[in-house]
Amino acid sequence: MAYQPKMEKDIRSPLEYGMEVFGGKWKTRIISVLNEKQPLRFNELKRELINITDTVLNSTLKELIGYGIIERHSYNEQPPRVDYRLTERGESAIPVLAGIAEWVEGNFNCPKDENA
């Protein structure tokens, strides 16, 4: 079952939609980690994202899956195994996100975060 938000968003432009897709504390961090180390299982991903709760990670993964940014692979094994990886759409966003990060570094005095 695909993730369904509780309320309809009032999005009026492609930029606003992009901010919805990539906004928030964890989405770009998850994308960055998967870009560096994929595929990752849930607990491996959680270890890379310090201080994220299971609930927040699970809901953020569902959102990113819903947007087609990441995909969930489940294997027919015992015990069950599931991993996450970027889709082609997710990989195509990496240069855009890197460009935003470069612009921010050049224009603002902010700390670098290796998982941002």
Write down the architecture of domain 14-107 according to CATH. Answer: Orthogonal Bundle (1.10)
Q: Where in the chain does DSSP place strands (E)?
A: 70-75, 81-86
Backbone angles phi, psi at 115, to 5 degrees: -115, 25
Q: What is the pTM of this model?
A: 0.82
pLDDT in tens, 59-111: 999 999 999 999 999 998 888 899 999 999 999 999 999 999 999 988 988 77
Report the greatest alpha carbon distance in the chain: 51
- Please state, in angstroms and rounded to a whole number, the distance separating the CA atoms of residues 33 and 52: 13
State pLDDT tens for residues 13-70.
Answer: 888 888 889 999 999 999 999 999 999 999 999 999 989 999 999 999 999 999 999 9
pLDDT of residue 89: 97
